[in-house]
Copies of this chain bind each other. A is one copy, B any other.
């Protein structure tokens, strides 16, 4: 077996050196690099599509599922969308250098907390080649060096996209090692990235649940991610029925494969329009796995078993149960939720305030669809992902979540008594 440790050390060392230059790089240079990179993506569209054709042919031969092949596939419109996304990141405000707070102590020392890049980010992802451009753009815009490790099934596409990003970086006068793409697909490199404490500052996995689970399980480097999005919409007794029905159907059915989709609806025992709500979900094409009470309301429901309350379907399926009130709803969420996104629908301000204060999730919502769980919808301009960990950054993570701070202390000769 090849010992890849020297290669990993070399990549990490180049990333660290680049990160020091990037931390001092000015805003305009970082923005310019992305503008140039977007243009390079457009200019090199034919190369990118040719590389993608190789991946698609190999994937078809290897028997990848139609869904995987669709995630892998690029066309002119998708390359154009990728370039546009990079340009959108270019015009976001740079968080680096922002003064979080400052004070002057009685002895005259001036204290300030200043935003700085985290340093070196490792991105581990699967078949979607656009992550090569997205992650490089967000990492670079926030002043971080980035090490990319994409899926083997997209290796040619990723290399072609990376070449365009690199052209933009170099043209803007930033260090070539600001973004590095792993030169080998050997899986050992993933393990080395996950154990690179001190060399890589944060790992961000982008992909399916098995990838995220492996990364969270093996990593010694901090990980920014979410494993599950077992999200709840709780229909309180004082919910407006028309609003509740519109929100729950949207929260489940708008796109069933996104992490912000509602997977369980909790319905108050005193909510007057439960049958209509269940019926609307079924009419919209959703399978409703219900408890005994709700099964009485519609013969088209099926019986939920114990596992259903802990299942992220990512499909046209929802689990549904009756709760005795706010407390039981919050207990259900505390026991079965994944701390991602949970919503209450009610016209009762006290119930809403209690739910928003006590439910311990990255995103808590009142009278809106859990499908809004997305950095763009939150006004962040983009997102590197949604985090359900409790430290550093929670919920949708964009540029600010890719920074940390340092304390800058200015004196004029103070010594400590």
Contacts and interface: CB of A to CB of B under 8 A. Distances in A.
Range for the number of chain A residues in contact with chain B: 35 or more
Given A20-B334, A109-B372, A415-B250, A407 B364 contact: yes
Contacts of A413: 240, 243, 246-247, 367-368
Number of copies: 2
Nearest to A414: B368
A222 B414 CA distance: 35
Interface stretch (A2-10, A48-56, A173-181, A353-361): A353-361
Interface string A198-219: 0001100000000000000000
Interface string A400-417: 000011111111111110
Contacts of A379: 103, 105, 111
Interface centre among A105, A243, A368 (most CB of B within 10 A): A368
Contact of A358 (B24, B390, B391): B24
Contacts of A116: 360
A118 interface: yes
A409 B20 contact: no
A371 B371 CA distance: 50
Given A24-B357, A358-B24, A366 B410 contact: yes
Contacts of A395: 406-407
A254 B404 CA distance: 31
Interface of A: 20, 23-24, 103, 105, 109, 111, 116, 118-119, 201-202, 222, 240, 243, 246-247, 250-251, 254, 334, 352, 356-358, 360-369, 371-372, 377-379, 390-392, 394-396, 404-416
8 contacts: A105-B377, A250-B415, A362-B407, A366-B408, A367-B412, A369-B416, A391-B392, A392-B392
